[in-house]
Amino acid sequence: MAVSAYGVSFGALAVASGLDIWQACVLSLLMFSGGSQFALIGVLASGGGAAGPAAIASAALLGLRNTLYSVRMGPIVGGPWWRRMLAAPFTIDESAAVATAQPTMRGQRLGFWVTGVGIYLGWNLATLAGALLGDLVGDVRQYGLDAAAAAAFLGLLWPRLRTLQPVAVAVAGAVVATLLIPAVPPGIPVLAAAAVAIVVGITNVLGKQT
Domain boundaries, the chain: 2-148, 161-210
What are the angstrom distances between the C-alpha of 57 and each of 52, 156, 193?
9, 21, 13
Rounded CA separation 95/69 (Å): 10
Q: Which pLDDT belongs to residue 210?
A: 46
Helix (H, G, I), strand (E, B) or coil at 24: helix
Residue type, 49: G
Rounded CA separation 137/134 (Å): 5
| Residues 98 and 115: beta-carbon distance below 8 Å | yes
Nearest to 7 by CA among 99, 194, 132: 132
Nearest to 199 by CA among 165, 152, 151: 165
Rounded CA separation 48/106 (Å): 47
Virtual CA dihedral for 147, 40, 115, 158, nearest 10 degrees? Answer: -50
Nearest to 95 by CA among 74, 80, 73: 73
pLDDT tens track, the chain, 210 positions? 777 777 888 888 888 878 889 999 999 999 888 777 887 787 776 666 556 676 677 777 777 777 878 888 889 998 888 999 999 889 988 888 889 888 999 999 999 999 999 999 999 999 999 888 876 766 666 666 556 556 656 665 676 677 787 888 888 888 888 898 888 766 677 778 878 877 777 776 665 554
Rounded CA separation 70/122 (Å): 22
Q: Which pLDDT belongs to residue 111?
A: 93
The CA-CA-CA angle for residues 210, 66, 145, to 5°, reads: 85
In sequence order, the 6+-apart residues with CB closer than 8 A to the CB of 29 are 124
